């Protein structure tokens, strides 16, 4: 097939026609807001605290408001999730009535000249707890399938359940924890990357990583229901009649097991920063035990479920022989509780460890 180039004359004519057409189009008028538009500048501004400032959750925080044109502020209403207060000074002190860490939803409403303006301070509340530190005593070592990319681990009625990940290898299974032998295995479709699992009301729940799909099974692993949820799924545990899910960030989500709708959300912090990479979960009382998805340290953190504050750190250094099993492939992930002891393992790891904790002095 022969290709022809258009002649220069034809190209030139086409350019002239397009130029004329463009010249005849009506010009757009830009709508500019006046510089004093209320959508751009407010009369009242927050002087302190500055955006991004962090405080301990038990701190008394100083707020200062000012007006741009020396306007007298008649009163200021302060609202957060737990309280509503009114003050009559431009500078005042405020203390949260809650012990929850994270970024509180605070609204300041300033009243002046019959007008109300709202301000939204952006601060972070850190934990006020010095976390306890724990070491461990190894009680028993049990065999574990080293082909299991462990994502969830828990006991239900004396049987060990484990969920595993990786597309094409994701499962939920029953195991004899002493022998490591599988009693029953249910495979997920190859499109799913399995994540954490837990039990509630004689049902087993399993989440997936990025598919935003959760599955419910009976205790014999016959599938009963499918649920949808938002975001990524990492770890899953049960707290009374509530499911608790992690997504690899500092956030913990409280979910209704009937439909996986979100009931509440916690932000987890220590005294300096948020706790990132929260992964597999176990709950004992009101304490959330969480693996941190890291190859640098072998540890489990303990979080107060009422507030999100870090209250304990379990140092598991030496539990796994890192000269034999690298932290890259054998990342700690899997916490189960039975008989007053913890059972822990790692991804693709040949052993499960029964340990007893003791508080460091």
pLDDT digits (tens, 9 = 90+) for 277-318: 999 999 999 999 999 997 678 999 999 999 999 999 999 999
Peptide bond between residue 49 and the one before it cis (omega within 30 degrees of 0): yes
The DSSP code for 271 is: S
* pLDDT for position 8: 34
- CB within 8 Å of 1: residues ≥ 6 apart: none
Q: Does residue 179 carry a pLDDT above 50? A: yes
Asked if 182 contacts 175 with a C-beta cutoff of 8 angstroms, the reply is: yes
Question: Nearest Cα to 352, choosing from 175, 221, 193?
Answer: 175
Quick one: CA dihedral 268, 272, 276, 280, positive or negative? negative
pLDDT of residue 68: 87
Task: Give the count of beta carbons closer than 10 Å to the beta carbon of residue 270.
Answer: 19
Q: Which of 42-46, 165-169, 255-259, 327-331 has the lowest mean pLDDT?
A: 327-331
As a whole number, the mean pLDDT across the chain is 89
Question: Of 301, 307, 286, which is closest to residue 357 (Cα–Cα)?
Answer: 301
- Specify the residue for token string 């959750």: 57
Split at pLDDT 50, 70, 90, the class of 329 is confident
Q: Which two tokens stand for residue 207?
A: 């989440």
Order of strands, sheet of 203-208, starting from the edge strand that comes earlier in the sequence: 194-200, 203-208, 213-218, 223-228
* Average pLDDT of span 146-161: 96
Task: Give yes or no for residue 191 having a pLDDT over 70.
Answer: yes
149 CA to centre of own chain: 21
Mean pLDDT, range 204-217, rounded to an integer:
97
DSSP 309: B
What is residue 101's predicted lDDT score, i.e. its pLDDT? 96
Among positive and negative, which fits the CA dihedral 64, 65, 69, 75? negative
Selection from 342, 336, 334 nearest residue 358 by Cα: 342
Question: Which residue is it, tokens 């913990």?
Answer: 252
The answer, yes or no, to whether residue 2 has pLDDT greater than 60, is no
Closest CA to 38 of 117, 119, 122: 117
Residue 353 and residue 320: Cα distance in Å, rounded? 9
The pTM of the full predicted model, rounded to 2 decimals, is 0.85
Task: Give the confidence band of 361 by pLDDT, cuts at 50, 70, 90.
Answer: confident
Q: Which residue has the higher pLDDT, 124 or 294?
A: 124
User: Dihedral sign, CA of 193, 216, 350, 323?
Assistant: positive
- Take residue 86 and report the two structure tokens written for it: 């009114």
Whether residue 14 is predicted with pLDDT greater than 90 in this model: the reply is no
Cβ neighbours of residue 333 under 8 Å, at least 6 residues apart? 150, 151, 279, 280, 291, 293, 345, 346, 347
Between CA 245 and CA 247 the distance in angstroms is 7
> Which residue, 275, 288, 187, 188, is CA-closest to 235?
288
In this prediction, residue 32 carries a pLDDT of 41
C-alpha torsion angle, residues 45, 50, 55, 60 (rounded to 10) = -40
Contacts of 17 (CB under 8 A, 6+ apart): none
Q: Which domains does the chain have, with CATH numbers?
A: 44-126 (2.60.40.10), 132-359 (2.120.10.30)
Q: Specify the pLDDT at position 103.
A: 95
H/E stretch holding 134: strand 132-143
Q: Predicted confidence band at 39 (pLDDT cuts at 50, 70, 90)?
A: low
């Amino acid at each position: 097939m022969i290709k022809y180039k258009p002649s220069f004359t034809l190209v030139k004519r086409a350019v002239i026609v397009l130029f004329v057409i463009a010249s005849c189009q009506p010009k757009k008028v830009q709508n500019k807001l006046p510089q004093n538009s209320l959508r751009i500048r407010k009369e009242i501004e927050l002087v302190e605290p500055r955006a991004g400032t962090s405080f301990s959750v038990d701190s008394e925080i100083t707020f200062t408001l000012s007006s741009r044109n020396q306007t007298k502020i008649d009163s200021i209403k302060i609202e957060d999730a737990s309280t509503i207060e009114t003050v009559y000074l431009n500078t005042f002190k405020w203390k949260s009535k809650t012990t929850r860490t994270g970024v509180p939803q605070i609204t300041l409403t300033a009243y002046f000249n019959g007008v109300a303006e709202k301000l939204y301070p952006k601060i972070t509340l850190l934990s006020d707890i010095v976390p306890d530190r724990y070491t461990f005593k190894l009680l028993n070592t049990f065999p574990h399938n080293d082909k299991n990319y462990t994502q969830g681990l828990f006991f239900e009625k004396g049987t060990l359940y484990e969920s595993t990940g990786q597309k094409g290898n994701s499962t939920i299974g029953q195991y004899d924890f002493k022998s490591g032998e599988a009693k029953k295995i249910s495979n997920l479709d190859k499109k799913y990357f399995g994540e954490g699992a837990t039990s509630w009301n004689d049902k087993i729940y399993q989440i997936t990583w990025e598919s935003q799909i959760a599955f419910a099974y009976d205790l014999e692993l016959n599938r009963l229901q499918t649920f949808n949820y938002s975001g990524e799924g990492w770890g899953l545990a049960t707290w009374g009649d509530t499911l608790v899910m992690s997504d690899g960030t500092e956030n913990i989500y409280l979910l209704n097991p009937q439909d996986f709708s979100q009931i509440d959300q916690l932000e987890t912090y220590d005294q300096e920063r948020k706790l990132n990479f929260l992964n597999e979960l176990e709950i004992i009382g009101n304490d959330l035990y969480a693996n941190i998805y890291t190859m640098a340290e072998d540890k489990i953190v303990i979080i107060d479920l009422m507030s999100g504050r870090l209250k304990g750190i379990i140092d598991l250094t030496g539990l796994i022989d890192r000269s034999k099993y690298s932290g890259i492939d054998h990342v700690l992930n899997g916490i189960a509780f039975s008989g007053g002891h913890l059972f822990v393992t790692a991804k693709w790891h040949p052993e499960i460890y029964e340990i007893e904790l003791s508080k460091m002095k």
